[in-house]
């Protein structure tokens, strides 16, 4: 039986702090999740304060993993401005095949500074070093060029381009799947 995966928080990078969400993060999370330009490539629409409160309540409980299908969802804080500027996720997809998936969202006010790459490196490290994963993927809408660049900077390669694989927000959408293996991560 696998132990509960409980990362040691907070995790500090060169410029960021990655940590579990708290109730105090509501305003910053709302500032992110209520924007059209943030939700353009997410399954959600811009959220109301009530919806963000529900999302935050779920995220507060997502700081450990004890079963396949669960996710760690973490706040990305830039101490220089003392704000949550984004969020990163690690979902445990398979124990047998040691697979996971990452995701990230950064407030557009803070785009262009490498924060998404720096924060996503944290969840890749958690997946490979903490959870012992062999392969981690990232999935995105093919029109989301910014997120594709982040995955490429992380050393991930595009393994699949699914054409018109779903109707997304009323129109056919293509999906890209990027991936990286544990040995590729360690030698990049």
Domain-by-domain residue ranges, the chain?
A: 11-138
What CATH superfamily classification does 11-138 receive? Gcn5-related N-acetyltransferase (GNAT) (3.40.630.30)
Cβ neighbours for 59, distance < 8 A, ≥ 6 positions apart: 21, 29, 73, 75, 87
Confidence check: pLDDT of 1 > 70: no
What are 8's strand-pairing partners? none
Helix or strand run (H / E) with residue 31: helix 26-33
Global confidence as pTM: 0.94
What is the structure's pLDDT at 42?
87
pLDDT, the chain, mean:
95
How many angstroms separate the CA atoms of 131 and 125, rounded?
9
Chain Cα centroid distance, residue 116:
9
* Model confidence band, residue 111 (pLDDT cutoffs 50, 70, 90): very high
pLDDT, tens digit (0-9, with 9 covering 90-100), for 68-95: 999 999 999 999 999 999 999 999 999 9
Q: Tell me how far apart the 2 most distant CA atoms of the chain are, in Å.
A: 44
What is the structure's pLDDT at 166?
93
Confidence check: pLDDT of 4 > 80: no
Place of tokens 């992110």: 32
Place of tokens 């990305």: 76
Confidence check: pLDDT of 36 > 80: yes
């Amino acid at each position: 039986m696998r132990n509960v995966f409980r990362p040691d928080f907070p995790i500090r990078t060169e410029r960021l702090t990655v940590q579990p969400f708290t109730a105090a993060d509501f305003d910053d999370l709302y500032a992110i999740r209520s924007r059209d330009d943030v939700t353009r490539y997410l399954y959600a629409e811009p959220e109301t304060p009530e919806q963000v409160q529900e999302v935050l309540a779920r995220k507060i409980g997502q700081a450990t993993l004890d079963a396949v299908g669960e996710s760690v969802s973490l706040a990305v804080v830039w101490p220089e401005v003392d704000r949550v500027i984004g969020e990163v996720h690690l979902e445990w997809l398979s124990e047998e095949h040691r697979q996971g998936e990452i995701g990230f969202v950064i407030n557009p006010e803070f785009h262009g500074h490498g924060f998404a790459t720096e924060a996503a490196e944290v969840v890749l490290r958690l997946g490979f070093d903490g959870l012992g994963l062999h392969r981690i993927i990232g999935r995105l809408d093919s029109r989301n060029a910014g997120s594709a660049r982040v995955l490429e900077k992380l050393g991930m390669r595009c393994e699949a381009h699914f054409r018109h694989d779903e109707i997304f927000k009323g129109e056919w959408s293509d999906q890209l799947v990027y991936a990286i293996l544990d040995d590729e991560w360690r030698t990049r």
